[in-house]
Amino acid sequence: MGYELNRKICDLIPYEPISGDYSIRLDANESPESFPPEITQQIKTAVDSICFNRYPDPYAKELISAFAEYYNIDPTLVTAGNGSDELIFLIESAFLEKGDKMLVVSPDFSMYSFYSSICEVECDTFYKDNTLNIDVDSLINRINTTNIKLLIFSNPCNPTGQGITAQQAQRLISSVNALVVLDEAYMDFWDQSLINQVNSFSNLIVLRTASKAVGSAALRLGFAISNRTVSDAIKAVKSPYNVNSISQAIGTIIYRNKEYLTSRQKMIVRNKEKLYNELVKISEKQVDFIVYKSFANFIFIKTPYGKEIFDYLRDNSIVIRHMGEYIRITAGTDYEIDRVVCCIREFFSR
């Protein structure tokens, strides 16, 4: 007798984020600061009234109502998830059948294709052009000629920071028969959202998360927004108590602090501009250091020195993300930006 893991999982290794104690973390696109005392006080009060012996509200009504009010959308079109990661997995496993094919773009968020392999769904890749942009016409053509049932991509894109406009996205969605999952994890930093247009499409799911601009990665809160038919289907296939009571209670409070959230998001966008401008100055003196414009809260850079820069920064207690010939740096606080830029200058002047 004996048991062997099947082939799709036997070689997988558990996800390991960069671990260790670093003084500056610019690797995961999180918000640079936690909540101020006024908000943490509201949170403590709310946690005090949770019934810990009871299951959470399966439809997270209060949370969704606060989320929908924040974005000025219809709450009946929203489903809450345990992070948008849960929703991505759920959508890929439920909205595709055996033999169906999905499409991802590259470079993009790697979890999309990872989950497809667990779901045993075939997954094709559409490559962006060498400016890292999506050629919308050839993407439409690819979907329609290769029988793609689901397209998923992030807009603006993690890791490139680039994006397609709302108008381009509308044209894409209305030109294909596939379900389009538009992951707007970073759209709070840009203004090209389709979150309030889901009723115009039979084939659109917009994803949002509380982990980035909303500064609540610890809570694991994601949201799927789509027309009523698709939305009811997501609610029907999700696990009943997927979002715990603590996250529901705290998330409700956070989305109700609209002024605080929007002003902090503006601050992050200003910091991103500053980081971009400083990095561009470095690139003007440095061939092999190409800085891309970004609509998100991070900057993407192409450089053959990626690994060396990553190591040098880590030795200075700063972590960023390194991926092959690219690095990605989250826009942190003013101080963090000064530190990372200073260290990169030092790296090149050695």
Min CB(186)–ligand PLP separation in Å? 7
Scanning the chain, the segments in alpha helix (DSSP H) are: 7-10, 37-48, 61-71, 83-94, 111-118, 136-145, 166-174, 228-237, 245-256, 258-285, 306-315, 334-349
Q: What does the buried/exposed string (b/e) look like for 322-335 if buried means 16 or more CB atoms within 10 Å of the residue's CB?
A: beeebbbbbbbeee
Min CB(116)–ligand PLP separation in Å? 15
How many Å apart are CA 308 and CA 300, to the nearest integer?
Answer: 16
Min CB(183)–ligand PLP separation in Å? 5
Between 164 and 185, CB nearer to ligand PLP: 185
Between 83 and 107, CB nearer to ligand PLP: 83
Min CB(83)–ligand PLP separation in Å? 3
Distant-in-sequence contacts of 98-104, Cβ < 8 A, 24+ apart: 100/149, 100/150, 101/146, 101/147, 101/148, 101/149, 102/148, 102/149, 102/150, 102/151, 102/152, 103/142, 103/143, 103/146, 103/148, 103/150, 103/151, 103/152, 103/178, 104/151, 104/152, 104/153
Between 24 and 181, CB nearer to ligand PLP: 181
Residues that bind ligand PLP (CB under 6 A): 29, 83-85, 109, 154, 158, 183, 185, 209, 211-212, 217, 222
Between 116 and 158, CB nearer to ligand PLP: 158
How many Å apart are CA 343 and CA 347, to the nearest integer?
Answer: 6
Q: Which residue is nearest to ligand PLP (CB)?
A: 83
Between 155 and 289, CB nearer to ligand PLP: 155
Between 163 and 306, CB nearer to ligand PLP: 163
Min CB(258)–ligand PLP separation in Å? 20
Min CB(111)–ligand PLP separation in Å? 7
How many Å apart are CA 324 and CA 307, to the nearest integer?
Answer: 8
